[in-house]
Amino acid sequence: MYFDTHAHFDSEKFEGDRLEVLASMPAAGVDLILDPGSDIITSRAALALAEQFDFVYAAAGVHPHEAEEVTDSYLADIEELCRHPEVKAIGEIGLDYHYDFSPREVQRKVFAAQMALARDLDMPVIIHDREAHEDFLNIMKQFPTVRGVVHCYAGSLEMSRDILKAGYNISFTGSITFKNNKKAPPIVAAMPADRYMIETDAPYMTPVPHRGKRNDSSYLKYIAEFIADIRGITPEQVAAETLENGKKFFGIE
């Protein structure tokens, strides 16, 4: 019943039990998983998992942390990955001014180049924006035909309105369940039913009550329960709405 729209099962944190954990997901109520790449190697690893499990799909892209490491062929490599029917988006891409692992100028250049590729290939994008809201919105506006989702949303209520107005979806992780996160509940409450998605961002962002442990898609239910409580609906309704929104966004039948 659940669609985990963002989970990094290609991560080294799943070394040793990756295939067992993935194989256990349908029995845990997880119908679909999308594994986004962080660079070319992890994008290829995500595609390999998508080829192995029929409920897993992939996205290909270079994360802002890795922007400085790109080779001359990275755009051609992403384009080639996008020709595969199991690759449903370009991502995750964007800007991270919190860690600044790559120089900001390089982050902006690599992000804009991947946005241009998404426009040319007519692919949706998965956005990582951390403390870079203004530059993200400026680059986004240069590509008005590109459809996107802002993953692990951590911005303001006001910015969420700008994002929705631009036609982008918003996706929530376990970070909304953290006790010190006072910003999230009003944003969750205000979401149009057809514009939000849920994700674990596994192995990171583990929701309460498992915070601190390795995350996986079976913990999506805690995020759905938290959202259901705020919106005054059932977790099953949250699961149904977000499954539908995710399938529509990624073009999955």
* Paired tokens of 235: 């977790």
What's the CA gap between 214 and 84, in Å, rounded? Answer: 30
Q: Cβ of residue 65: shortest distance to Ni ion, in angstroms?
A: 10
Q: Cβ of residue 237: shortest distance to Ni ion, in angstroms?
A: 26
Sites for Ni ion among residues 164-223 (CB under 5 A): 201
Tell me which DSSP letter residue 169 carries: E
Nearest to 225 by CA among 247, 204, 209: 209
What's the CA gap between 215 and 192, in Å, rounded? Answer: 27
Compare residues 151 and 231 and give the one whose CB is closer to Ni ion.
151
Question: Which residue's Cβ has the minimum distance to Ni ion?
Answer: 201
Q: Cβ of residue 18: shortest distance to Ni ion, in angstroms?
A: 16
User: Quick check: 56 and 50 in contact, CB under 8 A?
Assistant: yes
What's the CA gap between 178 and 38, in Å, rounded? Answer: 25
What's the CA gap between 122 and 79, in Å, rounded? Answer: 11
Compare residues 10 and 201 and give the one whose CB is closer to Ni ion.
201
Main-chain phi, psi angles of 112, to 5 degrees: -65, -40
Size of the site for Ni ion (CB under 5 A): 1
Compare residues 201 and 216 and give the one whose CB is closer to Ni ion.
201
User: Quick check: 130 and 93 in contact, CB under 8 A?
Assistant: no
Compare residues 66 and 201 and give the one whose CB is closer to Ni ion.
201
Q: Cβ of residue 233: shortest distance to Ni ion, in angstroms?
A: 26
Q: Cβ of residue 8: shortest distance to Ni ion, in angstroms?
A: 6
Compare residues 42 and 228 and give the one whose CB is closer to Ni ion.
42
Give residues in contact with Ni ion (CB under 5 A): 201
